[in-house]
Amino acid sequence: MGTSPTDPPTAAPTDVVIPIDTSEKIASVESTGASTPTRDFEAAINGTALARPPMNQEQFDNQYEYKPDHSELKRRLKKTGRRYIDPFTSCAAFKHALFGFIPILEWLPNYNFKSYIIDDILGGITVGVMHVPQGIAYALLAKVSAVSGLYTSFLPPLIYTVFGTSRHNSIGSFAVVSLMCGMAVDRFTDPSNKNYEEAISSLAEPPSAQEVASSLTLLISFINFAMAILRLDFLTTYFSDQANNEIVVAGFTTAASIHVLISQVKDAVGITNLTKHDGVFGLPWNVYEIAKRIPDVNLYTCAISLFCIIFLLLGKEVVTVQLKKRCNFKYTLPFELILIIMTTLVSYFCNFASDPFDVAVVGKIPTEIPMPAVPRFDIMYKLLPDALAITIVVYAVHISLAKMFAKKQSYEIDANQELIALGITSVASSFFPIYPVACSLGRTLLNFQVGTKTLLSNVFSSILLLSIILFLGAYFGPLPMPVLSCIVIVALTGIFNKFNDLRLLWPVSKIDFSIWVVSFLATVFIDVTPGLAISICYALFTTIAREQWPRWHLLGNVHGTLDFKDSERYEDVFFFHAICIFRFDSPLLFTNVDRFKKCIAKAMNQWERSHEYYVFRVERTKILTDAMEGGGFKEEEVDEGEALSRHFIVDCSGFTFVDYMGVSALKEVYVEMRNRGVLVYFAASKAPVRDLFSKCGFYDFVAKENFYPSIRDAVAIARLRQKARGQQDVQYSLEHDRLSEIMSIVPMH
């Protein structure tokens, strides 16, 4: 009985049991008498509820022709090979692959012009109108020229139309991504930035702002392609999902929006030459710098900003709501564009750029499509951290919105194809004055609300943008800069509604709540890119922690059924004498094997201190006698047949995976139980786990006869073994029993 788990015997030990014929139904202990949980369970076994006799896993596999699984690695390699070879095996396969790579070839020939065209035209124009102010405003966030915002709103949606699978996602400028791009641009172009010297060192010529943005866009496309080829779209599942919004990204984008908001305050009040702080506590320092410069604000700029904010808030929160409520008006009036036109006209006639106003204006905007230019490759390695962070944010937000609206409209999207579409969109955009693109929540929601049917709406949106670039762009020169800042500020008000997530998360999951808070605080007080890295690391840590400290349960038989449930959750459960059922709700990994063994020890301790631990009347008499004589009960005084009269069943249904340390832990538990005179059963093991046991030699240590296809089988076999020994259930009244008193003074080991 002293076998070490590290030195397995040459053959699995055979437990001392009396052979039983499982084809015979279990006979009741007494033919007559009142209903008891034991009799109800045995009646259920004898009834139609169990269509087969109880059996172990090996008998079950033999009877029902179990088929061993093929190598998972071979299967995946074969599947990967077929993915790239099958398209060239036949015309039909090539056509299918081509349509998967270029989805427009499949849906455009089947386009229902009669039903869809009007909605797509109106939706495209509506979203296109929204693109104009956002593109110009967010271009300033990205630290590039205003016209780059128009180019960003024109070309990427066209390319995405060809390769994308989401009918509603609006590709273009996005505030948070623009801010992250602007931080990278600042590092290479702003001499006051503390990282400027390091960024331009080893470069023959410092890059321009647009060169940095274009190189960053190209690098993002490379990362998208790499993720698509390696099928890494699953990585976004590590951003905990709640109500279709990734918690990590929700906390991050909310915090990043505060960075955006603070960055726009200086332009909204007309403060120039403001000292900027980056890094740890950079945001609080920037707030301090703004507060310190309050005496330097431009009152004309402040007045313009106040008017713009009031105009936009009234338009969005009052006029739009009343139109929808009273007139059932499904379209959203373009208040941002109306504001831009109004303020541009006033600025032109009042000459805001000159004294006494001295209000900053956009300036000259070229009215042409620029020639493509190759991005600079010599700065890309220095942009890699920025590109990785932006790629994560872009894809997480993009796929979240795509899935949400696809679910509402009952159509499918291809997550991996979305990576390809974003990659192609970025690589084509990088050759033009365009900054990194992303999916905008506001425009995507508008796309859905106005009833857009297909991606063809992007074509009409881009046509509108092209006409503005070629014919109307020059007229936006007098546009006051504070107007654009106010558009950004008001657009961010919706993002702050995500604080409501905290109220929803707290009762559901404290861990998810903590992920949101950590993501938010890290991004606010450290910085945007490091904040995202910390957020992801913390989310991964919580995933590990959930597996390292899982719950464990003692299961009981639900009265009158064949079900076994958590005894803490159900009152009407019954524990069979000398049978303990234990469940561990986690894969068994090196991170939690110590907890597993401690949980087993706790379960054994609880079991030993319960009256269900004892089965023999003679054993109870012996315990009482020994206790009164001061000797206590010693297991070695009981013969082996009696010692193996107790049964410990491990419910393995929670073991989705077991690693080497987990296997070693199971061996240790098995040896410890046998040394304590307990027969161990393993029930409901999953097929991959049993395959792993076979490969690692676990069955050489623990015989296959100890494995059972279900808890019912294990309990039924244990009951049969008890009855084959002539054991009887102990029936007694707790009020008149001194066992609990004796157990409190006699140690049980």
Q: Print the SS3 string covering 396-424.
A: HHHHHHHHHHHHHHCCCCCHHHHHHHHHH
Answer yes or no: do 426 and 557 share one domain: no
Q: How many distinct structural domains can be found in the chain?
A: 2
What is the pLDDT at residue 445?
87
Give the helix, strand, coil percentages of the chain, each rounded to 5.
60, 5, 30
Answer yes or no: do 449 and 562 share one domain: no
Residue 147 banded pLDDT, cuts 50, 70, 90? very high
Answer yes or no: do 334 and 469 share one domain: yes
For residue 293, tell me if it sits in a domain: yes
Instruction: Return the higher-pLDDT residue of 27 and 35.
Output: 35
Answer yes or no: do 453 and 576 share one domain: no
What is the pLDDT at residue 634?
40
Least confident span in 70-84, 392-406, 512-526, 594-608 = 70-84
Answer yes or no: do 296 and 379 share one domain: yes
Least confident span in 171-185, 239-253, 315-329 = 239-253
Tell me the percentage of the chain whose pLDDT exceeds 90. Answer: 37
For 40, 47, 63, 353, 578, the CA distances from 53, given in Å and listed in that order, are 17, 11, 12, 92, 22
- Which range marks the domain in which residue 149 is found? 113-195+212-232+270-497
Answer yes or no: do 491 and 620 share one domain: no
Answer yes or no: do 350 and 428 share one domain: yes
Among 497, 517, 540, identify where a domain stops: 497
For residue 274, tell me if it sits in a domain: yes
Among 474, 497, 520, identify where a domain stops: 497
Contact (Cβ atoms closer than 8 angstroms) between residue 236 and residue 396: yes
Answer yes or no: do 350 and 444 share one domain: yes
Residue 613, C-beta contacts closer than 8 angstroms, at least 6 positions apart: 577, 578, 607, 646
Which range scores top for mean pLDDT: 95-99, 297-301, 632-636, 735-739? 297-301
Pairing of strands 564-566, 573-574: unpaired
Answer yes or no: do 492 and 577 share one domain: no
Which CATH number is 655's domain given? Answer: 3.30.750.24
Query: pTM for this structure?
Result: 0.74
For residue 255, tell me if it sits in a domain: no
Q: How far apart are the first and last CA of the chain?
A: 15
Average pLDDT over residues 521-537: 89
What is the pLDDT at residue 709?
92
What is the pLDDT at residue 39?
64
For residue 515, tell me if it sits in a domain: no
Contact (Cβ atoms closer than 8 angstroms) between residue 447 and residue 193: no
For residue 592, tell me if it sits in a domain: yes
For residue 145, tell me if it sits in a domain: yes
Residue type, 615: V
Answer yes or no: do 341 and 416 share one domain: yes
Q: Can you tell me the distance from the alpha carbon of 273 to that of 13, in angstroms, rounded to the nearest whole number? A: 82
For residue 244, tell me if it sits in a domain: no
Q: What is the mean pLDDT of the chain?
A: 82
Q: Which of 602, 551, 586, 600 minimizes the C-alpha distance to 689?
A: 586
Pairing of strands 646-651, 579-584: parallel
Structure tokens given for 282: 């950079």
Contact (Cβ atoms closer than 8 angstroms) between residue 420 and residue 228: yes
Q: Which of 482, 447, 367 minimizes the C-alpha distance to 168?
A: 447
For residue 509, tell me if it sits in a domain: no
Answer yes or no: do 471 and 573 share one domain: no
Answer yes or no: do 484 and 626 share one domain: no
Tokens 């009646």 belong to: 43
Among 436, 468, 497, identify where a domain stops: 497
